[in-house]
Structure 1
Amino acid sequence: HTIIEAEAIGPSNQQDIMVIAPMSATVAAKLANGIYDHPITLAAKAMLRNGKNIVFGIATNDGLGISGVNIMKLLSFKQFFAIPFRQDAPFQKERSVVAKWELLEESLDQALINKQLQPLLLGSKQ
């Protein structure tokens, strides 16, 4: 909950995996660009330093807009795994994406063995 608490995560090295859900476009941008100014981003930095994976569930109105660059950048890093996601309202909010929350547990299981749950981009019926 605080930066001081988050700083203890690195030295303790007690966590196997981290979940950030929901992850906003702002948090995605900070992590994608190495900005660690919040308990969540600082905890993520500690997990990465310890070689642990991070699973994130994106929820943003701009995931298929400019924020998409940061989401894709995170997915290019070997320690980041996404809960599969889809457009949540393609005709009302054409750039909006949200994770399929029911796939969190399965996403965690796969990330623990360094695999991305597939398919990552879900259609409207998945």
Structure 2
Amino acid sequence: LAAEGDSAFQWSPVYGRVDGTLPLDQLPVLNVGGRQMSFVRFRVTADQPQLATTLSFNQTRGLTGWLNGKPVALAEVVPVELESGENWMTLAVSADARANDLKITLDTTTPEVRLAP
């Protein structure tokens, strides 16, 4: 990600609804190469290294993802291997290609994995 660590870009909190969706109309939109894009990131904490879990997406159309700066092939259910400690998931959201709000679910059957506030 070219903008990762660039002080010209500032992350700001955006809160999801009670039903777990993140309303896309609340996200700032940037013009990136003629495309209208928003960016979202969240962290997942793992208590042990190489911990396997899954992330589920309500829809992947218009999304591009990176886990800890490495590209992730997105699907409805994505198996991921987490490093010990903080793991950052970053999503590029195409405002042109996506109509539905964003909902991501973390498999929480493994107690060693949790979303970090």
TM-score band by shorter chain is under 0.3
TM superposition score normalised by structure 1: 0.26
| Structure with the largest fraction of helix | 1
TM superposition score normalised by structure 2: 0.27
| Structure with the largest fraction of strand | 2
Higher relative contact order (CA 8 A, sep 6+): 2
